[in-house]
Amino acid sequence: MNDSNQLKGRRIAVLAADGFEKVELTIPMRALQLAGAKVDVISLRHGRIRGVNLHEPASRVHVKKTVNEANPADYDALLVPGGFINPDLLRQSAEAREFVRAFDTAKKPIATLCHGPWVLASAGLLQDRTLTSWPGIRDDVVNAGATWLDAPIVHDGNLLTSRGPQDMVPFVRALKEHFSGQDKITGEAQIPTEHASAPQHDQPPQVMINAMRWLPRPSFRALGILAIAVGIGLVRRLM
C-alpha cells in the first residue's frame, strides 16, 4: 500500500492541552497527515495551545474544536500525546475523560505515549489492560488495574502505547498500522500470559536529570506571570 494512501479517508482526533510535549504531537500528527488522514486537534479551549520541550516553552498548534464541541462519532481514531502538563490538565476535565471513553466504548483505535496514559487511567479504561508508558508513571498505571511492560510499543486490542520520544520511530510506524485497521503491529511486545508487570526502574533517566540541570534561569517575565497566577489564586480563595 502506498504510504500516502494508507490512512486516506480516515479522520483522527488528537486530544491535547497546553503543555503537550512538542515532538509527541507534531511528529505523529505530520506522519498521519502524510499517510492521508485528516487530523484535528481537540482541546480544552479555543485558539492555539502551547507545546513544551521538557519544561521549556515550544511552538503552538491550532485547536480545531473544544471537547465540548467535538463529536467522537465524527472520528475514526484518537491520539493522546504526553508531556508532564498536558495529560495532568486533561485528566481533570470531565469532558475530556468522557471524550476518551466514547472511543473505547465504540472500540475505536486509541494511541497514547509517555504520560498520556494518565488520561486513560482517570477515565477508568486501564483495568485488565496491558500497556507501556513513561517509566515514571508505571505505578499509576499498575494501580489503575493494568499490566505495565517496559517496551517500545505495546498493542492490546484497540489500545496502542509507547514509552516516549525515545521510541518515536517504532511508535509512528505502529501508529499508522493501528489507525489503518491492520490487525498485526510489527515490532510489538508480547503480552505475558501471567499478566505480570515489569519491575520499577531503580534510577531515573540520566538524560532527564542532565537536561533539567542545564535549563536556563527563569526570566523576569516568567516570574511575573507566576506571581500573578499565585495572586489570583489567593484572591479567589479569600473571596
Active-site positions read 115
Q: How many CB atoms lie within 10 A of CB 185?
A: 17
User: In whole angstroms, what is the distance from residue 57 CA to residue 66 CA?
Assistant: 22
**CA dist., res. 87 & res. 116, Å (int):** 6
Torsion angles phi and psi, residue 107, rounded to 5: 60, 30
- Span between the terminal Cα atoms of the chain, in Å: 61
Q: Is the dihedral of CA 64, 67, 70, 74 positive or negative?
A: positive
Q: What is the distance between the alpha carbons of residues 6 and 64, in angstroms, rounded to a whole number?
A: 23
Residues 82/24, Cβ–Cβ less than 8 Å: yes
**Is 207 strand, coil or helix?**
helix
Residue 49, C-alpha cell as written in the block: 495551545
The residue written with cell numbers 494511541 in the block is 111
Question: Cα separation of 149 and 132, whole Å?
Answer: 5
Query: Comparing C-alpha atoms, which of 39, 86, 42, 44 is closest to residue 65?
Result: 42
